[in-house]
Amino acid sequence: MGRRRRQQNEDDYDDSLERSFVLANKRSRSSKDDVDDDDDDDNNTNNRSQQHFQVKKKKQKKQQGDDDEKELKTNSVECNDDDEEDKKNKGGNSDGSNNDNDIERLREKKRLKKYRQKEKKLAKKQENEQLQQKQKMDQQKKKRQDDEKKKGKLLLEKSSASMNGGAAFVKAAMGVQYRDVVVGTGPVVVDRKRLVCSYVLRSKNIKNGKVLDKGDRFSFRYGKGEVIRGWEIGLGGMKRGGTRHIIVPPDAGYGKHKDIGGGKGATLYFEVTLLQC
């Protein structure tokens, strides 16, 4: 009985529920495995994505750091450029003012230079005018002096000529002067021949001067150096019987240091009459 019941119970037992339970378990397990797999996949995916994100983030950070660094450099360069530009602007302004001042100084220097050049030219012109005026005055003065000298010589010659018969003196060598008061009629003086003369030596004047010496018959050889050079020059070309006035300067007489009564270096005034030749 019991076996039958048991058999019957076993036969009557419905295992569908158990099967469904097992199937559900299997499904739950498979779903759990799938979920786990999905979770693993998700985890892996998440890990990968997280790693990728981290790498990307690092890259972004690095890129951002590089960008920041570049930006900093750019900013610093821009700041430097701005500073330099400001400096340039400031310097430009100061340089501009300095340039203006320099230009003004240069203009002032040019004006001063031109003014000084004008002053120099004016001073030089005035100096040249004064020099020309002085030269002109000197020339006029010299001309007046020359004219006065000429007039004095003419007056002296006229006065001497009026004092001595009206004849003019003839200038000869060594400053000797002579003139014929009386022209002789005899032979002319010949070189190396003996002459006999009478003479009167005076100082300062031929007619009224102080008599220093005189001789009635003074004899000598003409051209032999027996008398002073003034006599030999003054008697040249004279004729016998004639009378001459002879003016002898110191160089043609006794020199500048010898005194024969008229003083040292005095001019000698002779009146000579040729008696024999």
Enter the pTM of the model. 0.42
Of 3.30.70.920, 3.10.50.40, 3.40.1190.20, 1.20.1280.50, the CATH number of 166-276 is 3.10.50.40
Instruction: Say what the pLDDT of residue 194 is.
Output: 92
Least confident stretch, 17-26, 98-107, 126-135, 170-179: 17-26
Higher-confidence position of 19 and 94 = 19
pLDDT for the residue numbered 162: 54
Tokens, residue 193: 């021949």
Residue 146: is its pLDDT beyond 90? no
Q: How far apart are CA 167 and CA 158, in angstroms?
A: 9
pLDDT score of 187: 92
What are the pLDDT digits (tens) for 239-267? 999 999 999 999 999 888 888 888 888 89
Q: What is the pLDDT of residue 196?
A: 94
Is residue 79 predicted with pLDDT exceeding 70?
A: no
Sheet holding 177-182, edge to edge: 170-171, 177-182, 243-248, 268-276, 194-203, 210-221
**Is the pLDDT confidence value at 96 over 80?**
no
pLDDT value of residue 12:
52
Mean of pLDDT values over 52-77 = 63
Report the pLDDT value the prediction gives residue 200, as an integer from 0 to 100.
Answer: 93
Give residue 164's pLDDT: 47
In angstroms, rounded to a whole number, what is the distance separating the alpha carbons of residues 159 and 153? 10
The confidence score (pLDDT) of residue 35 equals: 45
Share of the chain above pLDDT 70, in %: 60
pLDDT in tens, 157-210: 665 555 544 568 899 999 999 999 999 999 999 888 999 999 999 988 777 888
Which residue(s) pair with 194 in the sheet?
221
Predicted pLDDT at 234? 92
Q: 274: buried, middle or exposed (CB in 10 Å: 19+, 13-18, 0-12)?
A: buried
CA distance 197 to 275: 5
- Give me the mean pLDDT over the 205-234 stretch: 90
Q: 275 with 217: CB under 8 angstroms?
A: yes
Q: What is the DSSP letter of 189?
A: P
* Residue predicted with more confidence, 164 or 58: 58
Average pLDDT on 51-74 reads 64
Distance in Å from the first CA to the final CA of the chain: 237
Mean residue pLDDT of the chain comes to 77
User: Does residue 40 surpass a pLDDT of 60?
Assistant: no
So what's the pLDDT on residue 95? Answer: 58
Considering only residues 263 and 60, tell me which one the structure prediction assigns the higher pLDDT: 263
